[in-house]
């Protein structure tokens, strides 16, 4: 088992590199979860528990509120970017940005913040980068909901040191064009469904993306084709063509409202919603959130994407995205993180948690 040293736990940059050098593609997080559990179990001010490859730690100091810091342990598949390498202030490697640098900050703070002004909870979970049903945070919300109790939660997802509030909702739908099958030598006897799909694509190409401002955060929606499926054989007029559509919607829409909007846009076609997840409103009104924004010293921006803040929002817990990674580098072959930004984000969170 990989052991994390006290020296690594004391330095979020060194700790980031140590975590990046533990391979943990989604579904293969046991080794890194073992390392996190082993590092936290001896810490005297923490109570540590584990479920599968989810590690939970908490203080019980009788403070007036509770702050949660959460980070996922998994990465997307490797792409000639493992193990890590250093180039000046830049650390390269799979997961450096999304989100082992953020997870390292949470682990570093869990081990080193002994006198917080609020009680603290930490959650390190698996399978964030794959389907929702496998997501460790999702599973824990059903099996150990008490682990998620908090007055505010911070997801240390890549935000490049900005506070990203809320998140967009996301939906996938299949829009189906129908026709009549025929021999291609007698195409006039059929009705080509692929040709009809052109109307679906036209509506998408002309779709006006809605922009909405919520609590000063500017969200932009997007509706895009992400896949096309059709055709029977080289000599057959196809009777069906399916366009897979992804809709990223502002958090003022519910999934039901988003589905109704998709069906309205594609009136005349068969629409099947295959997957959806609600967004999260910014949730900036809570006093504990205001205190953090004051510590950061910059206004929040909208999160353009879906993150697990939505899971906390569904439980009535305000949540923010805040981490050192650059979201534009997530999942890329050249994924990297600025070491100075790791240190800066760790210092900001430490100041907030200790009131210094």
Task: Look at residue 12 in the predicted model and tell me its pLDDT.
Answer: 98
Cα 348 to chain center, whole Å? 21
Judged against a pLDDT cut of 90, whether residue 103 lies above it is answered with yes
The residue among 149, 155, 153, 46 whose CA lies nearest residue 103 is 155
Q: Report the alpha-carbon distance of residue 128 to residue 73 in Å, rounded.
A: 8
Do β-strands 319-321 and 152-155 pair in parallel, antiparallel, or remain unpaired? Answer: parallel
Instruction: Let me know whether 135 and 66 are in one domain.
Output: yes
Task: Look at residue 231 in the predicted model and tell me its pLDDT.
Answer: 96
In a domain, 150, yes or no: yes
In a domain, 52, yes or no: yes
Domain extent at residue 113: 6-167+280-354
CATH of the domain at 306: 3.40.630.10
Looking at the chain, the whole-number percentage of residues with pLDDT higher than 90 is 89
Instruction: Let me know whether 291 and 266 are in one domain.
Output: no
Instruction: Let me know whether 58 and 128 are in one domain.
Output: yes
In a domain, 148, yes or no: yes
Confidence at 1, pLDDT banded by 50, 70, 90: confident
Judged against a pLDDT cut of 80, whether residue 165 lies above it is answered with yes
In a domain, 113, yes or no: yes
Task: Look at residue 138 in the predicted model and tell me its pLDDT.
Answer: 93
Instruction: Let me know whether 30 and 140 are in one domain.
Output: yes
pTM: 0.87
Burial label for 200, CB within 10 Å (0-12, 13-18, 19+), is: buried
Check the CA dihedral 323-329-332-336 and report its sign: negative
Task: Give me the phi and psi of 351, to 5 degrees please.
Answer: -60, -40
DSSP state of 120: E
Instruction: Let me know whether 271 and 304 are in one domain.
Output: no
- Is 74 part of the annotated catalytic residue set? yes
Confidence at 356, pLDDT banded by 50, 70, 90: confident
Which of these three, 229, 249, 277, is where a domain ends? 277
Instruction: Let me know whether 151 and 219 are in one domain.
Output: no
Burial label for 103, CB within 10 Å (0-12, 13-18, 19+), is: buried
Mean pLDDT of the chain: 95
Which of these three, 277, 305, 323, is where a domain ends? 277
Instruction: Let me know whether 144 and 180 are in one domain.
Output: no
Answer yes or no: are the C-beta atoms of 218 and 211 closer than 8 Å. yes
Q: Report the alpha-carbon distance of residue 36 to residue 3 in Å, rounded.
A: 9
Instruction: Let me know whether 182 and 84 are in one domain.
Output: no
Specify the number of domains making up the chain.
2
In a domain, 74, yes or no: yes
CA angle (225, 136, 172) in 5-degree steps? 15
Which of these three, 220, 244, 277, is where a domain ends? 277
CA dihedral 94, 325, 15, 151 (to 10 degrees): -120
Q: CB within 8 A of 260, min separation 6: which ones?
A: none
Instruction: Let me know whether 152 and 181 are in one domain.
Output: no
Instruction: Let me know whether 32 and 148 are in one domain.
Output: yes
Q: Report the alpha-carbon distance of residue 156 to residue 134 in Å, rounded.
A: 20
Instruction: Let me know whether 10 and 129 are in one domain.
Output: yes
Task: Look at residue 66 in the predicted model and tell me its pLDDT.
Answer: 95
Instruction: Let me know whether 53 and 158 are in one domain.
Output: yes
Q: CB within 8 A of 297, min separation 6: which ones?
A: none
CATH of the domain at 194: 3.30.70.360
Token readout for 334 is: 């050249």
Task: Look at residue 271 in the predicted model and tell me its pLDDT.
Answer: 98
Looking at the chain, the whole-number percentage of residues with pLDDT higher than 70 is 100
Of the listed ranges 26-30, 69-73, 286-290, the one predicted with least confidence = 286-290
Q: Which of 11, 74, 326, 335 is catalytic?
A: 74
Burial label for 134, CB within 10 Å (0-12, 13-18, 19+), is: middle
Q: Report the alpha-carbon distance of residue 57 to residue 44 in Å, rounded.
A: 11
State pLDDT tens for residues 54-99: 999 999 999 989 999 999 999 999 999 999 999 999 999 999 999 9
Average pLDDT over residues 149-155: 94
Q: Which of 11, 98, 126, 128 is catalytic?
A: 128
Confidence at 132, pLDDT banded by 50, 70, 90: confident
State pLDDT tens for residues 244-273: 999 999 999 999 999 999 999 999 999 999
Judged against a pLDDT cut of 90, whether residue 285 lies above it is answered with no
Task: Look at residue 289 in the predicted model and tell me its pLDDT.
Answer: 85
Judged against a pLDDT cut of 90, whether residue 287 lies above it is answered with no
Strand arrangement of the beta sheet that strand 54-58 belongs to: 47-51, 54-58, 119-125, 66-72, 152-155, 319-321, 164-165, 301-302
275 SS3 class: strand
Question: What DSSP line would sit under 54-110, residue for residue?
Answer: EEEEE--S--S-EEEEEEE--BPPP-S--S-EEETTEEESTTIIIIIHHHHHHHHHH
In a domain, 1, yes or no: no
In a domain, 295, yes or no: yes
């Amino acid at each position: 088992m990989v052991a994390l040293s006290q020296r690594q736990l004391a330095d979020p940059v060194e700790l980031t590199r140590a975590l990046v050098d533990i391979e943990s593609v989604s579904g293969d997080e046991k080794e890194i979860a073992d390392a996190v559990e082993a590092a936290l179990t001896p810490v005297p001010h923490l109570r540590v528990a584990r479920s599968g490859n989810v590690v939970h730690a908490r203080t019980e100091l009788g403070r007036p509120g509770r702050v949660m810091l959460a980070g996922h342990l998994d990465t997307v598949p490797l792409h000639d970017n493992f193990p890590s390498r250093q180039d000046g202030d830049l650390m390269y490697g799979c997961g450096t940005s999304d989100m082992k640098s953020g997870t390292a900050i949470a682990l570093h703070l869990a081990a080193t913040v002994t006198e917080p002004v609020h009680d603290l909870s930490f959650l390190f979970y698996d399978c964030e980068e794959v389907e929702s049903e496998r997501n460790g945070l999702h599973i824990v919300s059903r099996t150990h909901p008490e682990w998620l109790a908090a007055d505010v939660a911070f997801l240390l997802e890549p935000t490049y040191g900005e506070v990203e509030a809320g998140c967009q909702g996301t939906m996938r739908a299949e829009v189906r064009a129908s026709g009549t099958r025929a021999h291609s030598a007698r195409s006039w006897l059929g009705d080509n469904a692929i040709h009809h799909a052109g109307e679906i694509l036209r509506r998408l190409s002309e779709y006006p993306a809605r922009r909405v401002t919520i609590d000063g955060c500017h969200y932009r929606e997007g509706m895009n084709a992400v896949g096309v499926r059709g055709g029977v054989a080289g000599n057959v007029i196809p009777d069906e063509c399916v366009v897979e559509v992804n809709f990223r919607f502002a958090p003022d829409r519910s999934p039901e409202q988003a589905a109704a909007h998709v069906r309205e846009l594609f009136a005349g076609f068969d629409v099947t919603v295959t997957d959806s997840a609600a967004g999260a409103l910014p949730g900036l009104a809570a006093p504990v959130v205001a205190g953090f924004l004051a510590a950061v010293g910059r206004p929040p921006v909208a999160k353009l994407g879906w993150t697990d803040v939505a899971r906390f929002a569904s439980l009535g817990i305000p949540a923010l995205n805040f981490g050192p990674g650059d979201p534009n580098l997530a999942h890329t072959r050249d994924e990297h993180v600025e070491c100075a930004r790791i240190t800066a984000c760790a210092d900001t969170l430490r100041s907030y948690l200790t009131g210094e």
